[in-house]
Structure 1
Amino acid sequence: MEEGKKRLATLVGCNYPNTPHELHGCINDVHAMREVLVRRFGFHPRDVEVLTDAPRSKVLPTGANIRRALATMVDRAQPGDVLFFHYSGHGTWFPSTGKRAGDGRQRDEAIVPCDFNLITDVDFRHLVNRLPEGASFTIISDSCHSGGLIDKEKEQIGPSSVLPTAAKDSSSQVDKAISFESLLAHLTFLSGIDSPHVGEHLSGLFGAEGVSAKFAAAFERGKMPLADEGILLSGCQANETSADMCQGKDTGRAYGAFSNAIQMVLKEQEGLVSNRELVTRAREVLRRQGFSQHPCLYSSDENTDATFLWQRPRPRSTM
């Protein structure tokens, strides 16, 4: 990457404290990633925005705030810039007539902000389509059902690459999943609307202009370029769950299994690592640890073997 090009990041961690959906490691995940971005990948601290629902957070990771942060990042982008989004939190799915998941069901994937104002695969498609030529947008989503979170992005490592895994002891593991039934029940309680359609509840709660483009009346599926600069590293396949690990109150060690695997690979691999290598090695880490989730890679053919975040080699020490 040329000198002077920007590196911009938005990091979102949702633990949903004091709710039935509480997680423990998501905020830890994004703070760990922030350190890696600054120390290893040359991101300036002022260009890394962190949104969490930790106590006393000034800006909560609501749907509106996450959309604002992502839109601002894309608006700032110029050709050659590197954009990065790391999400750790709940993921979900809802029925769709547009595509089929690996298990044969028609569904769309989404991340779940702290206020349940879903951000969908269509929203990420729109963001990627707005990139200036030559800019890249890499997403790590450590959430359930995250495979395919950029709508229509090409699968490079996915369900066809599944390897057998051992069962994981679930005593310290919580799935980052909110089922469609739970999602619909929660939104129905909030909106008071009697409808089986998620979009009607969200529009009633947040207004037509404040919800995912997937539910907007004016939404049209435009043509997607044959190749683009969207790169998705998902924590699991679209029909799988991702694990949130808590090793106990005494140690305070809590983390997302996929985020932790990414950190381990980057720590072990000091040099350049491609997107393909990072996902493949993260899969191997999770397999050794006994997890049943399978991280996936969605990107153009060219970006599959491109260097993760296009990082420059670090100068050799003279000591």
Structure 2
Amino acid sequence: MEGKNKRLAVLVGCNYPNTPNELHGCINDVLAMRDTLVKRFGFDPKSIELLTDEPGSSSPMPTGSNIKQALASMIDQAETGDVLYFHYSGHGTRFPSKKLGHPYRYEEAIVPCDFNLITDLDFRQLVNKLPKGTSLTFLSDSCYSGGLIDKEKEQIGPSSLVHENDSSLKLTSTPKTIPIKSILQHLSSLTNISTTDIGTHLLEFFGSEASSRFQLPSHHLDLLNLNQSLRPDEGILLSGCQSDETSADINPNVSGGKAYGAFSNAVQMVLKENPGQLSNREVVMKARNVLQTQGIVQHPCLYCSDENANAAFLRQHQNSDL
């Protein structure tokens, strides 16, 4: 029966070409992961949906609506035992929380190419729709990505260690973040509304396609917050950094090499160096070590149930040729 389980993936790479927020390695990240999913983890290429903003590409644009539709479609197809994977490489952002009692807390979001933010609450709602026994692994190579699945249990979190950058590192890097002020400025130019409330702009411009975080009244969010106690589920988040850190986009163009996201590349290195089965915990800890060795100051984190922390990454079988 196990051989009949589906392996489905949605891969999103946003380089924001010809904009002030341009990155260089995000599309390379998801193309590399697509190869790895097929060659190592047994994914059928036809079961992998790719969304990039590569000029001239035939893939759908990674707008907020398109990304959410692709994820919803993947989950709608899922049955017990299936393995689902979502890889996002692009900008992240954070904005002040409206939850009661959290005046200094932030909510995390990814920044699709049209700035229609997809928030931690959206990812929580997707995880809640998973059939029992179906895992969704979410690898987010973006700034502030720790905590992108709201209420997911922290397994490997903020580090108290201080790592100094290696001054000999000959790499040009860009933080994969768009400050909320910049997003507000962009959206204000579209809505012509004078307010610093991000939700007002998103609802005005994107309507029903805006994040649930902004659709629900604040008192509903508070009730949601109270009712969602931490409980084991099938969401697995591998974040490129902590919720208060940035993730690096590396552009080694001085040597003619390919640009890449630091975390995506670290995971690729870990998988190449360890052909056997690795747990989700091992992937994150080994990626942390790679980044520390490279002198890149960001700390990947893991959020999932206790069981999934020690489960095999993408459920690779110990004696499998995948």
Secondary structure in 2 aligned to 1:196?
Answer: coil
**2:120 alignment partner in structure 1:** 121
User: Following TM superposition, by how much is the alpha carbon of 1:223 offset from its aligned partner in structure 2, in angstroms?
Assistant: 3.0
- State how 1:1-319 maps to structure 2 within 5 Å: 2-58=2-58, 59-98=60-99, 105-159=104-158, 161-168=159-166, 169=169, 172-207=172-207, 209-217=208-216, 220=221, 221=224, 222-224=227-229, 226-248=231-253, 251-315=256-320
CA distance in 2, matches of 1:62, 1:33: 20
Pair 1:94–1:280, CA change in 2 (3 A): same
Cα deviation digits, residues 246-302 of structure 1 (max 9, x gap): 011661410000000000000000000000000000000000000110000000111
Pair 1:190–1:287, CA change in 2 (3 A): same
Match of 2:259, as an amino acid? Answer: A
CA contact under 8 A between 2:152 and 2:230: conserved in structure 1? no
CA distance in 2, matches of 1:41, 1:105: 41
CA distance in 1, matches of 2:275, 2:164: 29
List gaps (5 residues or longer) in structure 2.
none
Which deviates further from its counterpart, 248-257 or 226-235?
248-257
Identity %: 58
TM-score (norm 1): 0.93
Match of 2:126, as an amino acid? Answer: L
Structure 1 segments of 4+ aligned residues over 4 angstroms from their partners:
168-171
Pair 1:267–1:199, CA change in 2 (3 A): same
Pair 1:100–1:179, CA change in 2 (3 A): farther
Cα deviation digits, residues 204-251 of structure 1 (max 9, x gap): 1111x1111101136652535611010000000000000000011661
TM-score (norm 2): 0.93
CA contact under 8 A between 1:162 and 1:294: conserved in structure 2? no
Cα deviation digits, residues 83-106 of structure 1 (max 9, x gap): 1000000000011033899xx931
CA distance in 1, matches of 2:22, 2:256: 18
CA contact under 8 A between 1:62 and 1:115: conserved in structure 2? yes
Secondary structure in 1 aligned to 2:98?
Answer: strand
Equivalent pairs, count? 313
Which deviates further from its counterpart, 251-260 or 215-224?
215-224
CA root-mean-square deviation: 2.0
Cα deviation digits, residues 6-35 of structure 1 (max 9, x gap): 011000000000000000000000000000
Match of 1:90, as an amino acid? Answer: H
Pair 1:204–1:114, CA change in 2 (3 A): same
CA distance in 1, matches of 2:234, 2:302: 13
List gaps (5 residues or longer) in structure 1.
none
Which deviates further from its counterpart, 211-220 or 32-41?
211-220
Cα deviation digits, residues 155-175 of structure 1 (max 9, x gap): 11011x343212155860000
CA distance in 2, matches of 1:162, 1:57: 42
Secondary structure in 2 aligned to 1:97?
Answer: coil
Match of 1:311, as an amino acid? Answer: Q
CA distance in 2, matches of 1:183, 1:217: 21
CA distance in 2, matches of 1:100, 1:179: 24
Pair 1:153–1:100, CA change in 2 (3 A): farther
CA contact under 8 A between 2:151 and 2:228: conserved in structure 1? no
